[in-house]
Amino acid sequence: MSLAGLRVLDLSRVLAGPWASQILGDLGADIIKIEHPEKGDDTRSWGPPNLRPAPGDRTDDPPSAYYLSCNRNKRSLAIDIAKPEGAALVRRLARSCDVVLENFKVGGLSRYGLDYESLKRENPALVYCSITGFGQTGPYAPRGGYDFLIQGMSGLMSVTGQPEGTPGSEPLKVGVPVSDLFTGLYATIAVLAALRHRDRTGEGQHIDCALLDTQVAVLANQGMNWLVGGQVPKRLGNGHPNVVPYRCFATADGHIIVAVGNDGQFRALCRLLDREDLLADERFASNPGRQAHRAELEATLADSMARWTSADLIEALSGGGVPAGPINRIDQVFDDPQVVARGLVHRLETPGGTPVPIVGFPARLSRTPACYRRVPPRLGEQTDEVLSDLLDLTENELEELRAGGVIGTAGRS
């Protein structure tokens, strides 16, 4: 495991931070997840659906599917950092950690002495990553930020949805919380870069990750269409802003996606559809012309494709070198032979024998592959284990902390 020996103190909740720590955990890092003894991570209760326990396993507070999606390979400690004794425990843990991840509001951890400036005094090599909606600076810094808000503010929703004036036309969010997920990915990249610097110099640093910054960065070609060309991108439904034809088309029994990325693929498409007449039309010879005459060309192609069944057309196009594919439901995705062949779904098991399916780390490392060692933990499940191992606390000390409400009962929920 490439990150074996690395220890991460995870003070984050919900998605962006837990997504980052799960990636680090998949690659071998020891993730210590700090949760409130009573409430835990918000997503624990974001069900249904919830995990259905096997006969004989515990049935109290089964975790939500949402929580299970981003919390494997972690150890959960139930500690109330609002109590001075709880904050002191976390500070002590931070001394032996390489990375801290947190997503509190700007300045929210300083009152507990858990901000970067406080922790780096005792651990100068610490890499400390803060994830917020708007970053540590700027006029919006004090605001809370959620994925839906960021999808709107970043411009993403302005280019997502049906074109203005067509049925169902309104700005739409993406069907998964991409602003959170992208930020988790960028946070992971930044942490690994900071660790590389630390390994060379011994110097830690503070990483400031913002959902808004991330989502603006991943506007990618749409952002550059404005910055370079002065074009304000609009909603195009399933159409591509730069490439034509590159969209969803109706068939005799459903819909498929046709993604023509170059002139050669367009010529192959026309031949397969028996539409050589389109090849003789100079308007369609290159992508700029096809883009300028998008409506006419796509209407003509749509008429030709509507005569085919989806399966036959996908087979013909794929065999002829034209990228094409189905629009799968989620259940169909996990039955797709390519997804099955790639082994993306793994099965773990709780101590009580309940199967826990997970979608694994998608990159395949030939020498240090991802490893799935722990099911997403119950709230506080490893509290005693970690505090006794890392801080040498005795059973009597743990009981005193528990009696004072500083730590929770291990594995309560």
Could you tell me how far CA 11 lies from the centroid of its own chain? Answer: 17
Query: First and final CA of the chain: distance in angstroms?
Result: 30
β-pairing, 205-210 vs 74-78, is unpaired
Active site residue: 180, 213, 281, 392, which one? Answer: 180
Enumerate the H helices of 83-219 as residue ranges. 84-95, 116-122, 147-153, 178-201, 211-217
Instruction: Give bridge partners of residue 247 from the DSSP assignment.
Output: 258
Q: Cα separation of 195 and 205, whole Å? A: 9
Rg (CA), the chain: 26
Q: Cα separation of 228 and 217, whole Å? A: 15
Is the previous residue joined to 241 through a cis bond, with omega within 30 degrees of 0? no
Query: Residue 25 class from Cβ within 10 Å (0-12 exposed, 13-18 middle, 19+ buried)?
Result: buried
Q: Cα separation of 301 and 403, whole Å? A: 72
Q: Cα separation of 245 and 248, whole Å? A: 9
Residue type, 246: Y
Q: Cα separation of 216 and 222, whole Å? A: 10
**Vertex 343 angle, CA 379 and 70, to 5°:** 25
Q: Active site includes 180?
A: yes
Query: Residue 337 class from Cβ within 10 Å (0-12 exposed, 13-18 middle, 19+ buried)?
Result: exposed
The closest alpha carbon to 377, from 403, 400, 348, 402, belongs to 348
**Catalytic machinery residues:** 180
